[in-house]
């Protein structure tokens, strides 16, 4: 079973721990697409116990692009092979396990995106001043609270109901805009352009299905609530 940890278009945090437990109770293995999770949500793979988990570093950890990770539970590692066989597949010393030996040296590559990640994480943690030694956790809570508050501002301004409960939000929130339901692709593009060029907002505006055209907000420490208030005013003008 393949599941998202955080859905990309709609920004919903799925109950992956419960889903993994349910799947395992039915002898089903689970792969989690966690692209948005690291840096947005607390993540402990030893507690979560997925069979497979993969994620990016360039989203909420703000690491360089092309860096990410693949986790495979030990019992499944013998069944997973790299697309390019590592030099370490038949040479000792390329990793502490056969699995890592097979992945660790696929040929000449640039390791700098991976080497830069600890510095990126330290930088993120420094953006949230607190005495709490786990500053990154504080930053994630701050971003969640800001996304929730920003979504509430927009919903209240447009007099819209909650499309999903606040408990299912991380640092993303997607809002269907009923006034845009019948927009053509060209009109949706015009909204994107107006938000960017006239109001200085860069955010996804997209058709989710035949009944919903949505915008998706995100929250990081450099954002402030007044920006979402300005966005709500801009969306009102464009609706």
State the CATH number of the domain containing residue 229: 3.90.1150.10
Q: How many CB atoms lie within 10 A of CB 20?
A: 21
Note the pLDDT of residue 128: 76
Contacts with 86 (C-beta within 8 Å, 6 or more apart), sequence order: 94, 101, 102, 103, 104, 105, 106
- For residue 215, give its domain range: 142-237
Same domain assignment for residues 93 and 150 = no
Q: What is the pTM of this model?
A: 0.90
Q: Please check whether residue 224 lies inside any domain of the structure.
A: yes
Q: Please check whether residue 115 lies inside any domain of the structure.
A: yes
Q: Please check whether residue 66 lies inside any domain of the structure.
A: yes
Q: Please check whether residue 215 lies inside any domain of the structure.
A: yes
Mean pLDDT by 10 residues, the chain (239 residues): 96 97 98 96 96 96 93 94 83 83 84 94 83 81 96 98 96 97 97 97 96 97 96 96
Same domain assignment for residues 13 and 58 = yes
Note the pLDDT of residue 132: 65
How many domains, the chain?
2
Q: Please check whether residue 91 lies inside any domain of the structure.
A: yes
SS3 content of the chain, % helix, strand, coil (to 5): 40, 15, 40
Same domain assignment for residues 33 and 82 = yes
- For residue 146, what are its two tokens? 């800001």
Same domain assignment for residues 10 and 93 = yes
Note the pLDDT of residue 131: 67
- Per-position b or e across 35-57, b if 16+ CB within 10 A of its CB: bbbbbbbebeeeebebbbbbbbb
Q: Please check whether residue 136 lies inside any domain of the structure.
A: no
Instruction: Name the residue among 183, 175, 182, 172 with its Cα closest to residue 158.
Output: 175
State the CATH number of the domain containing residue 14: 3.40.640.10
């Amino acid at each position: 079973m393949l599941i998202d940890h955080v859905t990309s278009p709609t920004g919903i945090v799925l109950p992956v721990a419960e889903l993994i437990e349910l799947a395992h109770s039915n002898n089903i293995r689970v792969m989690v697409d966690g692209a948005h999770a690291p840096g947005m949500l607390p993540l402990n793979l030893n507690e979560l116990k997925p069979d497979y988990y993969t994620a990016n570093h360039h989203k909420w950890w703000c690491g360089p692009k092309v860096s990410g990770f693949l986790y495979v539970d030990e019992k499944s590692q013998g069944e997973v092979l790299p697309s390019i066989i590592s030099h370490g597949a038949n040479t000792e010393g390329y990793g502490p396990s056969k699995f890592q030996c097979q992945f660790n040296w696929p040929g000449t590559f640039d390791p700098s995106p991976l080497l830069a990640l600890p510095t990126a994480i330290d930088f993120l943690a420094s953006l949230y001043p607190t005495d709490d030694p786990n500053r990154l956790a504080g930053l994630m809570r701050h971003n969640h609270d800001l996304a929730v508050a920003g979504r509430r501002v927009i919903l209240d301004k447009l007099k819209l109901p909650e499309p999903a409960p606040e408990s299912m939000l991380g640092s993303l929130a997607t809002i269907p805009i009923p006034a845009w339901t019948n927009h053509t692709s060209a009109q949706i593009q015009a909204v994107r352009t107006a938000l960017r060029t006239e109001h200085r907002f860069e955010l996804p505006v997209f058709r989710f299905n035949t009944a919903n055209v949505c915008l998706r907000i995100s929250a990081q420490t450099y954002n402030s609530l007044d920006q979402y208030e300005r966005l709500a005013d801009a969306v009102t003008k464009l609706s």
